[in-house]
Structure 1
Amino acid sequence: MAEGGLRGGLGRIRRCGLLLGGAVVLLAGCASMPDSGDLRGVEASQRPDSQVRVFAMPPRESAGPDEIVQGFLEALTSDDPKFEMARKYLTQDASRTWHPELSTTVLAEGPNAEHVADRSGYDGDSGRQYILKGHQVATVDEQHAYQPADAAFTETVHLSMAKEAGHQEWRIDRPPEGIVLGASDFQRIYRPVNKYYFASEPGSGADDGVSTPGRMVADPVYVRQRVDPVTQTVRALLDGPTQWLNPVVRTSFPAGTRLKAGVKALAPDDQNRLKVPLNARAERVGRAQCQQMAAQVVFTLQDLTSTGITDVELQRPDGSPLCELNEDHAEAIAPLHTADRAGYQYFLDAEHRLVRLPGTGTGGDAAPQRAPGPFGEGAKAMSKIAVSRDELHAAGVSLNGRDLYVADLLSGASYGDPLLHSRAKSEDDRLTAPSWDGQGDLWVADRDPGRPRLLLLEHGTGDVLDVSTPGLEPSHIEAVRAAADGVRIALLVEEDGRKTLQIGRIERSGGDDPQVTIADLRPGAPQMEEVTAMSWAGGSRLVVVGRESGGVQQVRYVQCDGSAPASGVLPGLNGVKEVAAADDDLLPLLAHSDDGIVRMPPGAPWQTVLKSGTSPAYPG
């Protein structure tokens, strides 16, 4: 039980079974407290060691209703796989109908439980009633998907006397739906995991399971990190994409594919090889489809163990192999990235020319070199730059923000005519920095108040498409960053003087008459009051610059589902205006700050690259 975990008139708590230096913490059941008064503030994870395993204890004999409620809420924060100890605080009927896996409600702090007036004699009810209160910041649904929230939370818990071991005891007969816990407990208990699916191509027969593989798309979910995360994650993968991502991805697993009946746990052997027995729905798939299925498993499990799972064998119900795939072959079947590791880091120098540094193997004192082609020659001064993911082309916005140019990164290449021209009177209302997606298309917003538009240039220089943005006025878009997967986009949106990060789903349709829509925008960094800059930093992660309410500017990682792992805060930097990250987390972060262009290699501090420069960029 955590220090400071209870507030109000409950008196002192007798502690037992707390082994922080070892591996076990025993929660609940050992508390001695009066059975009246308000019950408040369960926050069980305020401990120095977040790696400690936490187990709940059963209710003690003759425990009062306050203690039962407290014990139940503490048991929800334990590492009990099936919440069997939490069920001991429930009546038998309530235990049968309670399904903790259906939802997890995350509160800013642990739930406050307030005792409502006794209902003895009212309609024959001799029980006790409590109201759980708090500020809800998120929900994790039955698909394990994280959904940000910002609302008051209240839920009623009811207790009655029940027969236990021949005598009457207080037990909960109406528990909360699912699990309710505080944010710090959530951070301790759960971990983010990426499931992987294939991007659906318009008109490709996306649901047949045997289409050309295409790009892999990360689908972030949360699993309990010390309760067999491998099995949890495989089950979540087989259940299919989360609801938000489902319209733009597909799975190669046949509908209804699950683990073989009776399989309780999956574990790799000492060679990091995992066998996955499947049910009969998958036993007749062909080799090509099976390898796509195995690739989804390989990528999904790659970060779940300390040594990684390097080889996956999918099996029929009788134990015979369907197919086997290792991580090298998985990358060949369905590349996670649309190009190799970024060869260079790019930015504009003081003369507004495109310069670059090698992506790896160069110290912080290396001098940037001009990029080949017209952007490096600098005949036209640029204010913003973006480099295609194959590093063969670049797109730049003129110094006054009016014109967009695209040119090859080759000596002797030329600008040509501008592909876009903004007619906005104010420079602040003209073109944003461009961004390339994984399909080679180029995105940019024109904030002209007379005709605001989010635009897509097919293959960088082809047809210009007006992108539909339901619920969002394009004039509010301050920055655009398309994800490498081609199905998600990050937008920096300014409204009422406040900039926020929004993540949208890219939906394409129309065939010969292509139409593109940004659907279901959702907050990407709800914990931040103001977001200054952002960049994709992997399949489901972004690096953002901003500040929380009442706080100072910080640089941190967030998940595209709106969650923010506690370990995501990065070393501070003064006056950050722009930031850039690569899909590969072994490459340094780049930023434009008060110190000029700086970069931060993994495990090292920020290093100055150029005293004067702007528009740091990785390919994309």
Structure 2
Amino acid sequence: MPVTGDVKAVDASQPGDSQVQVYAVAPRDGATPNEVVDGFLESMTSDDSDFRTTRKYLTQEASKAWKPSALTTVLAKAPNRSDRPSHEGDRSTTEVTYTLSGEKVATVDEQNAYQPLAQTDYARTLHLVRQNGPDGKEWRIDIVPDGLVLGQSDFKRLYRSVNKFYFATGRSETQSTLVADPVYIRNRTDPVTGTDTVTQAVRSLLRGPTDWLRPVVESRFPAGTGLRKDVISLTPDDRNVLKVPLNKKADGAGQRSCRMMASQVLFTLRDLTSARVEQVELQRSDGSPLCVLGSDQAEEYAPDGSSGGPDSQYFVDAKKHVQRIPGSTRGSGKPEPVAGPFGAGPARVSEVGVARDEQLAAALSEHHDALYVASITEDGQLPAPAVTSKADGSEDRLTAPSWDGRGDLWVADRDPDNSRLLRLAGGAGKPQEVTVPSLNGSRIEGLRLSSDGVRIALLLKSDGHTTLRIGRIERQGPQDKQRVSVVDLRQAAPQLADVTAMSWSGGSRLVVVGKEQGGVQQVRYVQADGSTPASGVLPGVNQVRAIAAADDEQLPLMADTQGDGIVKLLPGDNWQTVLKEGSALVYPG
């Protein structure tokens, strides 16, 4: 039970059930202004086609001008309306104004991109007029803000998160890898376009990446490519083959480009349909096949860049050496020392980061003042430090290292006199300082690189609190003289006042350990865009110091705890102790 913090009122209503469907009801004859406003707000939570019924609460002019798809504002709870509108009380009045209020927590823009916000007050006005109707005088709304206003429970019922996929820029075709771009689409049918979820997802994919990700990814679909005009629904056939008719812009695409286009569609739809799409056939504007790609053939572009084999786990044992748990054992195998100086040499290490190909590892010295890079598959001597820190205390020195999907090594020096983020291309050579323009005085306490190499998760400390931010990695210039920066930091867990540990868990999801204001420690999943999945909260575990997850969701979640050692969590199970002695467990990356 919490022992600190204020007493809070709890909303007893159940969260939105995606199987529940709300049907819009038109205003009754003689409806009062209160009934018109309440009916309009309720109707916005429906799947009303083109919001035809919802628009009946508006005047003709307001109905034509209202753009429900312009923006979706998400409030902590359903919007409140003022009980006593202005101008009410005089029976002869012909207009009234209501105030809609609430706590704004997020928005979804026209690109379907989710943007979390620190809870802020929301206030908008609805203006009603009394006009002549077919059955006499009637109240209708004549001034209404564009977009939808929904409480969180209705938003979760109506929308679902979908990852679109685009290719990381600046890589050769043989090294091309897909990057997840999360968006929110309607759960059943989009009221504005009348399209189902599969068609919505494909249309969104063809429109291109969201603004935040656009500078570092590209689509293989030629500019202007869209679905053929007569396409209103995309449905896999009984062999799980999806045929996608495209417009003329794609007619001239070559086979290599077409296969890459088809892989974007396959991965976008992978978790969207009840029956997995096994093959995609892209069609020209005349209906002839452009190319066909099966799901197994698309694996060469897999977002996690994996070779198909399970990842091993690595940790620091009680003697301060690095050991490996074979990946095929799902965290239950017998640990074995790695080869090289980290496994049995004289070096005593405190943290380890293993390259994704499991050939090299980077390890911190016992007191966090030096970073070494060495092979873990061949014997050798401990090399000279690749990075050193001159800070006085270990808590002000180097962070745990992390490798990106391009084979580069990253680490941060927390030295108050020389705070910096560093990158070693290929894990070797002179460290390059990476600029982070939007730190605003915050200090990097931890970092983890995504497998695609275009995003970085940072734990930033400021004013006594540590929060989670996601940054976009931009690279300029030739490979040997690249200038790298981390830009556009955005919140990834705004509901947590303090985050103590985190790890990537797939293409656009992270597992985090943290506390809400005045709350207790919890382990939960968050999306890279800052939204929270419906099944985000995980079983509790005590005093977690570090967390590790793999891109493969079937591999166990691992945690380093203060009292129980290293523990693991498999899907549908409870936490189990793996090792009583050991710390700093990581998956490659």
TM-score class normalised by the smaller sequence = over 0.9
Encode CA deviations 1:272-312: one digit per residue, 9 max, x unaligned: 21111112211121221111111111110000012211211
8 A Cα contact 1:351 1:378, kept in partner: no
Q: Name the structure 1 match of 2:584.
A: 615
Query: Is 2:403 the partner of 1:403?
Result: no
8 A Cα contact 2:16 2:154, kept in partner: no
8 A Cα contact 1:350 1:612, kept in partner: yes
Query: Is 2:162 the partner of 1:214?
Result: no
Query: Which residue identity does 1:161 align to in structure 2?
Result: R
Query: Is 2:312 the partner of 1:350?
Result: no
Change (3 A) 1:503 1:607: same
Change (3 A) 1:258 1:362: closer
Q: Which moved more, 1:344-353 or 1:554-563?
A: 344-353
Deviation for aligned residue 1:475: 7.0
Q: Name the structure 2 match of 1:550.
A: 518
Query: Is 2:284 the partner of 1:322?
Result: no
8 A Cα contact 1:346 1:617, kept in partner: yes
Change (3 A) 1:427 1:47: closer
Give the RMSD, CA atoms, in angstroms: 2.1
Q: Which aligned pairs between 1:138-149 and structure 2 lie closer than 5 A?
A: 138-149=106-117
Whole-Å Cα distance in 1 between the matches of residues 238 and 231 of structure 2?
20
Correspondence for 1:250 among 203, 214, 218: 218
Q: Which aligned pairs between 1:22-101 and structure 2 lie closer than 5 A?
A: 46=14, 49-101=17-69
Query: Is 2:191 the partner of 1:229?
Result: no
8 A Cα contact 1:342 1:619, kept in partner: no
Q: Name the structure 1 match of 2:405.
A: 438
Change (3 A) 1:463 1:342: farther
Deviation for aligned residue 1:119: 7.5
8 A Cα contact 2:325 2:331, kept in partner: no
Correspondence for 2:80 among 112, 118, 128: 112
Change (3 A) 1:125 1:517: farther
3-state SS in 2 of match to 1:54: coil
Whole-Å Cα distance in 1 between the matches of residues 400 and 288 of structure 2?
53
Change (3 A) 1:363 1:329: closer
Identify which of structures 1 and 2 has the higher relative contact order when contacts are C-alpha pairs closer than 8 Å and 6+ apart.
2
Instruction: Give the gaps of 5 or more residues in structure 2.
Output: 1-10, 190-195
Change (3 A) 1:434 1:88: same
Q: Name the structure 2 match of 1:158.
A: 127
Query: Is 2:386 the partner of 1:419?
Result: yes
Encode CA deviations 1:39-94: one digit per residue, 9 max, x unaligned: xxxx9984684422222222222211111111111111123343222122222222
Change (3 A) 1:473 1:428: farther
TM-score, normalised to structure 2, is: 0.92
Query: Which residue identity does 2:501 align to in structure 1?
Result: A
Deviation for aligned residue 1:533: 0.3
Correspondence for 1:192 among 161, 165, 168: 161
3-state SS in 1 of match to 2:519: coil
8 A Cα contact 2:43 2:54, kept in partner: yes
Query: Which residue identity does 1:605 align to in structure 2?
Result: N
Query: Which residue identity does 1:170 align to in structure 2?
Result: W
Query: Which residue identity does 2:106 align to in structure 1?
Result: A
Q: Name the structure 1 match of 2:144.
A: 175
Correspondence for 1:600 among 557, 569, 576: 569
Encode CA deviations 1:131-180: one digit per residue, 9 max, x unaligned: 11111100000000000113211111112234444533222222222000
Change (3 A) 1:610 1:44: closer
Whole-Å Cα distance in 2 between the matches of residues 47 and 437 of structure 1?
37
Whole-Å Cα distance in 1 between the matches of residues 380 and 23 of structure 2?
66
Change (3 A) 1:81 1:310: farther
Query: Is 2:487 the partner of 1:519?
Result: yes
Aligned residues, how many?
Answer: 568
Deviation for aligned residue 1:605: 1.1
Q: Name the structure 2 match of 1:19.
A: none
Whole-Å Cα distance in 1 between the matches of residues 331 and 323 of structure 2?
16
Deviation for aligned residue 1:382: 0.6
3-state SS in 1 of match to 2:23: strand
Whole-Å Cα distance in 2 between the matches of residues 508 and 582 of structure 1?
26
Whole-Å Cα distance in 1 between the matches of residues 248 and 106 of structure 2?
37
Q: Which aligned pairs between 1:487-566 and structure 2 lie closer than 5 A?
A: 487-511=454-478, 512-566=480-534
Query: Which residue identity does 2:180 align to in structure 1?
Result: A
Whole-Å Cα distance in 1 between the matches of residues 235 and 62 of structure 2?
33
Q: Name the structure 1 match of 2:5.
A: none
Query: Which residue identity does 2:48 align to in structure 1?
Result: D
3-state SS in 2 of match to 1:96: helix
Whole-Å Cα distance in 2 between the matches of residues 74 and 136 of structure 1?
18
Instruction: Give the gaps of 5 or more residues in structure 1.
Output: 1-42, 205-210
Q: Which moved more, 1:607-616 or 1:498-507?
A: 607-616
Whole-Å Cα distance in 1 between the matches of residues 326 and 568 of structure 2?
12
Change (3 A) 1:294 1:616: same
Deviation for aligned residue 1:351: 1.1
Change (3 A) 1:237 1:430: same
Deviation for aligned residue 1:317: 2.2
TM-score, normalised to structure 1, is: 0.88
Whole-Å Cα distance in 1 between the matches of residues 558 and 535 of structure 2?
19
Correspondence for 1:480 among 447, 458, 463: 447
Q: Name the structure 1 match of 2:544.
A: 576
